[in-house]
Amino acid sequence: MRKRYAILPILLVFLFITGLSLGQPTNNTSIMKNNTTNVENAASLMNKTALANETAPAAETTLGNETAAADAKETSSVLDLKYIWSVTGIEPGPIIMVLNQTGEELFGQAKYEPDSGENWNGEVVGSIAKDEVDLTLTAQKGKELVTTKMSGIFADENINGNFSQVSGGKLVGKGPFSATYFSNVTSDYTPAAIEQPKTEPAIQQTASATETAAIPNSVEITSTSFQPNSMTVQAGTTVTWINHDTTDQAVASANGEFDSGNILPGGQYQYTFSQAGTFAYYSTINPSMTGRIIVKRVFHNVVEDADKILTGVGDISGVPIGMGGSGL
Q: What is the pLDDT of residues 273-300, one digit of tens each?
A: 998 999 999 999 999 999 999 999 877 5
Mark whether 99 and 48 lie in a shared domain: no
Percent of the chain with pLDDT over 70: 62
Tell whether the model's pLDDT for residue 122 goes beyond 50: yes
CATH code at position 268: 2.60.40.420
Residue whose C-alpha is closest to residue 293's, from 250, 257, 245, 248: 257
Sheet holding 268-273, edge to edge: 226-227, 218-221, 237-243, 268-273
Residue whose C-alpha is closest to residue 140's, from 185, 110, 160: 110
- What pLDDT is recorded for position 262? 93
Mark whether 223 and 166 lie in a shared domain: no
Mark whether 67 and 94 lie in a shared domain: no
DSSP label at residue 25 = -
How many other C-beta atoms lie within 10 A of the C-beta of residue 141? 16
Tell me the helices (H) and strands (E) count for the chain, helix number first: 4, 16
Rounded to 10 degrees, the C-alpha dihedral 126/130/131/135 comes to: -10
Classify residue 138: in a domain, yes or no: yes
Max Cα distance, the chain (Å): 185
Tell whether the model's pLDDT for residue 35 goes beyond 80: no
301/74: higher pLDDT = 301
Classify residue 103: in a domain, yes or no: yes
Mark whether 90 and 184 lie in a shared domain: yes
The domain tally of the chain equals 3
Classify residue 61: in a domain, yes or no: yes
Residue whose C-alpha is closest to residue 273's, from 291, 257, 251: 257
CATH code at position 111: 2.40.128
Mark whether 215 and 271 lie in a shared domain: yes
Mark whether 100 and 145 lie in a shared domain: yes
Mark whether 105 and 62 lie in a shared domain: no
Tell whether the model's pLDDT for residue 17 goes beyond 60: no
Classify residue 195: in a domain, yes or no: no
Classify residue 182: in a domain, yes or no: yes
Residue whose C-alpha is closest to residue 263's, from 283, 237, 278: 283
Classify residue 320: in a domain, yes or no: no
Rounded mean pLDDT of the chain?
78
* Partner residues linked to 124 by β-bridges: 108, 137
Over residues 258-271, the pLDDT tens digits come to 999 999 999 999 99
Tell whether the model's pLDDT for residue 29 goes beyond 90: no
Classify residue 313: in a domain, yes or no: no
Q: Let me know: does 86 contact 96? Beta carbons within 8 Å.
A: yes
In which domain, by residue range, is 25 found? 2-76
Mark whether 112 and 169 lie in a shared domain: yes
Angle of the 28-76 helix axis to the 2-21 helix axis, nearest 10: 170
205 vs 24, 215, 228, 260, 271, CA distance in Å? Answer: 132, 15, 21, 18, 21
Classify residue 31: in a domain, yes or no: yes
Tell whether the model's pLDDT for residue 12 goes beyond 70: no
